[in-house]
């Protein structure tokens, strides 16, 4: 267990965690998130993104904050926060660079891209070059399939796509980020930074129109649909009378 996640389940010790980093505005936003769901505990995932938008990671204070807001135990919150890779256990850089090294991307150059960026930044997986949160700091990570195999090899910066990358092209992107620039992603809106992206993932958009502006489709991605359309191909329809298997009773 890392230092950030050394929680105890005894109430006295848990209450000792200082959550004052989350100000009145963040607390009001937490309540807005909770109001979206019939059960407050369902708000945990966006709440953890809200926490990351404030601190750049999920700290012990962030765990305690979520637990307090959602009437959960810190053990329940930390179990979720440590399960998903999008919740960072250490402070993240200004930008998060995720290089897909899953099968398709790896075969087409993803491993070489990851190696090149790691050598340039002097860091490995989940490590940060520079001071986390400061301008130009970069956290590098391996990523599993980013659902853009037709555009492999791909990388993301703060979850925005940079398609069809080469080691040299990816290095240019990272060097620009280190200079404080925000190169345009191949698809999607203009780059923000890690904390800004986390705020959006929590469901807060300061300017929704510009947040979603930008190209969203790639020629490669729609080519299959175009071919099927031209040739009259359709998928077999789903019969309406399929008998569903019985659902086992929950105990
Ligand atoms: S393997 Fe990289 S996007 Fe699917």
Domain residue spans in the chain? 3-81, 95-212
Query: How far is 216 from 126, CA to CA, in rounded Å?
Result: 28
Output the CATH code of domain 95-212.
3.40.30.10
Query: How far is 60 from 52, CA to CA, in rounded Å?
Result: 12
Q: What is the pLDDT, as a whole number, of residue 8?
A: 46
- Confidence band, pLDDT 50/70/90 cuts, at residue 224: confident
Does the pLDDT at position 28 exceed 80?
yes
Q: Which two tokens stand for residue 162?
A: 């940079």
> Across all residues in the chain, what is the average pLDDT?
91
Cβ of 105 closer than 6 Å to ligand 1, yes or no, is yes
- Confidence band, pLDDT 50/70/90 cuts, at residue 7: very low
Task: Give the residue, out of 108, 149, 161, with the most ligand 1 atoms within 8 A of its beta carbon, to mutate for a pocket test.
Answer: 149
- Confidence band, pLDDT 50/70/90 cuts, at residue 13: low
Q: Taking the model in full, what pTM does it have?
A: 0.86
Residue 144 alpha carbon to ligand 1 centre in Å: 7
CB neighbours (10 Å) of residue 71? 9
Residue 7 alpha carbon to ligand 1 centre in Å: 35
């Amino acid at each position: 267990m890392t230092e950030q996640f050394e929680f105890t389940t005894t109430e006295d010790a848990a209450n000792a965690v200082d959550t004052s980093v989350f100000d009145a505005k963040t607390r009001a936003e937490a309540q807005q998130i909770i109001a979206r769901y019939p059960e407050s505990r369902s708000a945990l995932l966006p709440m953890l993104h809200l926490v990351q938008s404030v601190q750049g990671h999920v700290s012990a204070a962030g765990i305690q904050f979520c637990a307090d807001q959602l009437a959960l135990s810190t053990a329940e919150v930390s179990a979720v926060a440590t399960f998903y890779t999008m919740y960072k256990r250490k402070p993240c850089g200004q930008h998060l660079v995720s290089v897909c090294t899953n099968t398709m991307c790896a075969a087409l150059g993803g491993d070489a891209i990851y190696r090149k960026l790691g050598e340039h930044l002097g860091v490995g997986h989940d490590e940060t070059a520079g001071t986390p949160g400061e301008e130009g700091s970069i956290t590098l990570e391996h990523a599993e399939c980013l659902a853009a195999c037709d555009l492999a090899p791909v990388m993301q910066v703060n979850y925005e796509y940079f398609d069809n990358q080469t080691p040299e092209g990816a290095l240019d992107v990272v060097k620009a980020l280190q200079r404080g620039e925000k190169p345009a992603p191949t698809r999607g809106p203009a780059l923000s930074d890690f904390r800004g992206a986390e705020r959006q993932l929590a469901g807060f958009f300061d300017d929704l129109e510009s947040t979603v502006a930008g190209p969203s489709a790639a020629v490669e991605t729609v080519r299959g649909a175009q071919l099927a359309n031209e040739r009259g191909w359709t998928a077999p329809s789903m019969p309406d009378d399929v008998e569903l298997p019985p659902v086992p009773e929950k105990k």
